Amino acid sequence: MTSAPTVDGHPADGHSTEGDSAEGHTAESDSAEGSSAEEHTAESSSTEGSAAESLTSDGRSAKSDAASARFRPRRRKGRGRKIAVALLVLAAAGAATAATLGIGIDLDGRDGGTDPAAALPPSTAEVTRRTLKDTQSADGELGYGPATGLGSRLPGTLTQLPASGDTISRGKPLFKVDDKPVTLMYGPVPAYRAMKAGITEGPDVEQLERNLAALGHTGFTVDEEFTDATADAVKAWQEDQGLPETGAVEFGRVVFAPAAVRVDSLAAAEGDAAGPGGKVLSYTGTDQVVTAELDVADQRLAKKGAEVAIAFPDGTSAKGTIAEVSTVIEPGEGGQDTEPETRIETIVELGAGKNQKAAAAFALASVDVTFTAEEHKDVLTVPVAALVALQEGGYGVEAVEGTTTRYVPVDTGLFADGRVEISGDGIAEGMTVGMPR
């Protein structure tokens, strides 16, 4: 673009001098859509808004400058165009880099997608609605759970022992000492004293009375008090057991367990001496369970009562419920020179019905256990890689609308399976978002 000839200080084409003021300085800036105009205006426009009436630094009027402008080399024009183009290229590159790195995207830097020169992302994804689960798998062992050791509180000789794998229910002998049975009864409180008339009230007495009633010996009120009526029921039970009918239950004659037990292993043989401190056998529950360990960092997954999925070696599966959660300390593999490792141990019950049937095909087996810490149903999600960090703080996504894009701030929820839950104004199912480079 060249400056027009003037006649008496006015442009030959009739345009006002204010519209073309200091054209030699500003025309190239205007041609770059105004993006660089602000950087050069100070040197090209007068403080009063009319360059034609102002004076240059050497005292000559702007009119004579305009008249002679056509005879000057127009180096500043080419330089201004190069600067404007370079700034546009750098701005575009900066936006692309910010989207790629997910760092410092400025929402005001993109005016709602009105810039036709904005580069589209190399690929896109769709906002979809689905269920997200925070899950993790761990190795588990199908068996009967941790075994409990059992010794004899009664001195004498072991005269009868069960076999490994035997199931023993209420009222049946666990073993015999001097040919007299040590009997299993149900209850959560271990036996800790002899039970007879005159003792203080306690939950062990109530447990005894419940078992006597279940075995058909009644005539008393089930409570924590050992009465004469309780003693009479004990005598009737002792008669059935082949024991002396004293009306008192000596310490060690009854063993309480939560339910029926399965003999896991024997620690003694018939003929061995029995007595305090000596182990006779170990037992477990009768239902198969799964034992699985987790790292301490994954403790959030181990919630009592939570449901888990179990995969068996033959490809079948079952559901289970976390029944127990405990912290165990395992010795270091290198001996005393290595620190012990803390783990979270879970006991998963399979329950009755088809879950137990699925497990029945295996006495012992290694299984996969899938824990679910959190589940969000029917939420809007995008790939995690679609998130970009905003300069204002938080995260956003780059909404793609035809040939333009704009950044939309979002609130994030659950992260799972490579996707993230999002919400916010303008976020809808089916929306297209950019995937950063």
Inter-CA distances, 105 with 74, 135, 355, 381, 404, Å: 38, 32, 52, 21, 16
| pLDDT at 1 (0 to 100) | 39
Phi, psi dihedrals of residue 88, rounded to the nearest 5°: -65, -40
* Highest mean predicted confidence (pLDDT) among 32-41, 259-268, 356-365: 259-268
Q: Which of 274, 280, 277 is nearest to 161 (CA)?
A: 280
* Highest mean predicted confidence (pLDDT) among 169-183, 266-280, 296-310: 169-183
Residue 17 reports pLDDT greater than 90: no
Residue 161 reports pLDDT greater than 90: yes
Q: What residue type is assigned to position 425 of the chain?
A: D
Residue 367 reports pLDDT greater than 60: yes
> What's the chain's average pLDDT?
79
| pLDDT at 76 (0 to 100) | 37
- Window from 93-102, 253-262, 366-375 with minimum mean pLDDT: 93-102
| pLDDT at 140 (0 to 100) | 95
User: What mean pLDDT do residues 68-77 have?
Assistant: 37
| pLDDT at 94 (0 to 100) | 34
Q: What residue type is assigned to position 253 of the chain?
A: R
- Window from 104-108, 251-255, 318-322, 345-349 with minimum mean pLDDT: 104-108
Q: Tell me the percentage of the chain whose pLDDT exceeds 70.
A: 72
pLDDT for 29-47, tens place per residue? 343 333 333 333 333 333 3
| pLDDT at 333 (0 to 100) | 72
Q: Which of 308, 313, 433 is nearest to 382 (CA)?
A: 433
Q: Which residues pair with 273 in a beta bridge?
A: 157
Contact 118, 110 (CB under 8 A): yes
Residues written for the chain = 437
Which is more confidently placed, 92 or 319? 319
| pLDDT at 352 (0 to 100) | 74
**CA-to-CA distance for 155 and 278, rounded, in angstroms?**
10
Phi, psi dihedrals of residue 187, rounded to the nearest 5°: 160, 150
Flag whether the pTM goes above 0.75. no
Q: Tell me the percentage of the chain whose pLDDT exceeds 90.
A: 60
| pLDDT at 14 (0 to 100) | 37
| pLDDT at 61 (0 to 100) | 39
For residue 354, the SS3 value is helix
Which is more confidently placed, 327 or 14? 327
What does 297-327 look like in DSSP terms, one character per residue? Answer: GGGGG--TT-EEEEE-TTS-EEEEEEEEEEE
**CA-to-CA distance for 233 and 223, rounded, in angstroms?**
14
pLDDT for 383-411, tens place per residue? 999 999 999 999 999 999 999 999 999 99
